[in-house]
Structure 1
């Protein structure tokens, strides 16, 4: 009997594989809403002919004391990875609320370690169409790579280039100086109810997309980037929610770790993890929307060209060399310095088709490590900008209450931009 082919996992991917804990699983969870509905057989055929061209999706992750390997799964069974998913609903519960509850449950349900670490769940009847929930372990791919792969399996998507296999160079050095360089300059995060010990029960939420062309108009009016406008809305929504709980946010700031892509976009199809982490401070205590917008712009300007994303990537790489308790100690420092992990990923500008159905809405959430209990996702798709939130129930049991504040925050900026003199931009 032949031995399955194996290849060594990169140090960074190994770090992600070992980062699972009792309250945070390192899975990327995504949702596609499709109209009209597609069948389970059609979905399985598409996954078999398109997704499985990426060899990684046929391989198991085998963890050892000091390293990990990718091993071909000789017993691979597509039916275990693409499954029909019931959608239980309570009396009076909307379909969206039921789907959000399902996503929260799946986010804390471990993938089978004896199989390749991914799964598609098809809800065959949802709002006149169907819903597709995807779970992929972060050791397989980061968000940029995964979106590129998912685009490739849509109708008309191009096949991935054949990737050359190179032997990975051994990592050298020690992690202490790297973690010190990245983390010691950062003060501990502001204490809010969004920090604490997670319970391991996840709740997810999303809202209706904002029109991207209107966001562009607002950004131009205030001489800011689109990203500045969106992050200001996030800051305002979180700050407003905290004040609604009776908390004093005067002068308060929270830190979000923002992944920064370190691979060229033309190589986005390459699986694995190639990103650093940039610490972004969100001024949640500033209630004036324009003042807050320019505070965000100033903080984003400071991050551009920063060394920290590269060093944070190095911390992950070197921590993958350590035994798990040492890695946990290194990565646990991130949780003390941050409240949330945040992603802002550009998706396709035009709506996509999948198995003949229209992909009308999409959202995904990346995992948080250590004791971080908040994840914010911003995704542009089909002319809109989608906000998503995943929280630990011990910190925020109803994230929809925060999501519902995003659009009013944006509307404030929109109204203020309309008050500017015609043809002029804010000069701040």
Structure 2
């Protein structure tokens, strides 16, 4: 990915190549000039007046940065947008579940959390909001017992503990975290027996999305398990550079014709992460340069086309899964499907693993609608799919670094093979799109706004979308925590606005799991969607075996 900066006259007069350095140096010089003038005027004042003026100036400066009386780190604009996105129907929490065998104790978990998790500053910091945004501030009264809790699962007669666990996760998904404390909690069920009959423990984890995205939380996971290592230390200079780069990216993409132009991005695979890394390093981007006027024209056309596509998305098909959500959630998940089988089907059909899995998701949703007496023939629903925008080696830095692309799922296509090829075609059409970067920039701009204005901007997605869907690659090998084997792990993505369906796909330990979280007003029994997933996969597998084989 190549980037060129068409510098403004003011920038050229400074003779600087790096727009980040240009902006910061020009601002610093202006600040120094103003300060010098203020000092010159202050010399004429009596000492007492000079002292009072200095105190006022200091307080104004602190208030302007949103840190009056605080010592902390400013929250990025994108993370601020996620912080403010909570609503009565949807809380911006990532919810996860681990089942463990033979089980662990609360004391052992607390010790591990203190040793490893608290090495990440975000898990020791509370959030202080102000008119201009929010600040991460060290919680001086941090209490591990307020974050690692003991749970006893209430379950009805005849109800399995697995179902009781699902019900509890659904309840916790709508219980806000305490804003006076760091925004995360773990709930440990010490005596848990799953449907497999194994005696062990269950761990429910809740983390507010403003702390990190799913990819970053995989890095957190790998640090707290047995054999995990402490996260690298991030210097203050690195934190400031990351925030400055984010500001520049948002400005460059929201105002592509005011002197800042970016080259069209190849967003296939992890190309998105590499692209954003270069985009966030304008000095390196300047060294590459654009190929010429034709490249600039292509960039302008790509950005305008993608922005228009986001703004002018047609409405979804009107299904029972779309509507005004209530204030209750329910979750469900299925047993793992062998990852090797998914790969084999993808190879036989010349499709990716994602194509196969997303096709099965579309089939499961279509099957669920049929089971409710609806006819999904010819219908489609739009799912917002996150696209990672950071190199995996930088995931430990936490925060949110992903964009969103809208994928229209062909839920009305009944033939599994036809459906997987249609999903492949639609996924291929998204490659080369700048929509993930535009969505990232939109979140950055939303973080600058007051909450009503932010809600209005982000409702663009909610009005046109039925589901949020994510696919996160988890550890390939099975993990252990405090000596216990992690037998299953699952997570659920939050939904924003009026979206009432979240779909999660997680690969772990050689298997792939499918999870759903729904609003009970729109879908009271998500297990019925889950129950349709495995048959869809089995049917696709059978039909693949029946296809003619080449010589």
TM-aligned CA deviation for residue 309 of structure 1:
0.4
Which blocks of at least 5 consecutive residues in structure 1 are unaligned?
Answer: none
- Secondary structure at 1:368's aligned position in 2? coil
Q: Which runs of 4+ in 1 moved over 6 A?
A: 174-179
Asked whether the equivalents of residues 34 and 358 of structure 1 are also in contact (C-alpha less than 8 Å), the reply is: yes
TM-aligned CA deviation for residue 270 of structure 1:
1.4
* Counterpart in the other structure of 2:96: 30
- Secondary structure at 1:146's aligned position in 2? helix
Which blocks of at least 5 consecutive residues in structure 2 are unaligned?
Answer: 1-67, 194-198, 257-303
- Secondary structure at 2:81's aligned position in 1? helix
Map 1:187-336 → 2, pairs under 5 A: 187-336=314-463
Asked whether the equivalents of residues 4 and 74 of structure 1 are also in contact (C-alpha less than 8 Å), the reply is: no
Candidates 114, 117, 123, aligned match of 1:51 = 117
Map 1:362-381 → 2, pairs under 5 A: 362-381=489-508
Asked whether the equivalents of residues 60 and 113 of structure 1 are also in contact (C-alpha less than 8 Å), the reply is: yes
* Counterpart in the other structure of 1:91: 157
Asked whether the equivalents of residues 4 and 73 of structure 1 are also in contact (C-alpha less than 8 Å), the reply is: no
Q: Deviations over 1:169-225 (max 9, x none)?
A: 356759799995462231111111100011010000001110111111111111111
- Secondary structure at 1:140's aligned position in 2? coil
- Kindly indicate whether residue 222 of structure 2 is the aligned counterpart of residue 151 of structure 1: yes
Q: Deviations over 1:70-129 (max 9, x none)?
A: 011101111100010110001111111000000000000000000000000001111100
- Kindly indicate whether residue 140 of structure 2 is the aligned counterpart of residue 74 of structure 1: yes
TM-aligned CA deviation for residue 163 of structure 1:
1.4
> Separation in 2 of the partners of 1:249 and 1:405?
15
TM-aligned CA deviation for residue 64 of structure 1:
1.3
> Separation in 1 of the partners of 2:315 and 2:254?
20
Q: Of the two structures, which has the highest relative contact order with CA contacts closer than 8 Å and spacing of 6 or more? A: 1
TM-aligned CA deviation for residue 423 of structure 1:
5.5
- Secondary structure at 2:206's aligned position in 1? strand
> Separation in 1 of the partners of 2:214 and 2:414?
32
Moved more, 146-155 or 317-326: 146-155
* Counterpart in the other structure of 2:13: none
TM-aligned CA deviation for residue 364 of structure 1:
0.2
* Counterpart in the other structure of 2:209: 138
Higher helix share: 2
* Counterpart in the other structure of 1:392: 519
Candidates 71, 89, 93, aligned match of 1:5 = 71
> Separation in 1 of the partners of 2:430 and 2:255?
23
- Secondary structure at 2:397's aligned position in 1? coil
Asked whether the equivalents of residues 182 and 311 of structure 1 are also in contact (C-alpha less than 8 Å), the reply is: no
Asked whether the equivalents of residues 307 and 438 of structure 2 are also in contact (C-alpha less than 8 Å), the reply is: no
| TM-score, length of structure 2 as denominator length | 0.75
Structure with higher Rg: it is: 2
Q: Deviations over 1:109-164 (max 9, x none)?
A: 00000000000000111110000000000000000001111111101112211113
Moved more, 37-46 or 409-418: 409-418
- Secondary structure at 1:41's aligned position in 2? helix
State the number of aligned residues: 423
- Secondary structure at 1:405's aligned position in 2? helix
Moved more, 173-182 or 26-35: 173-182
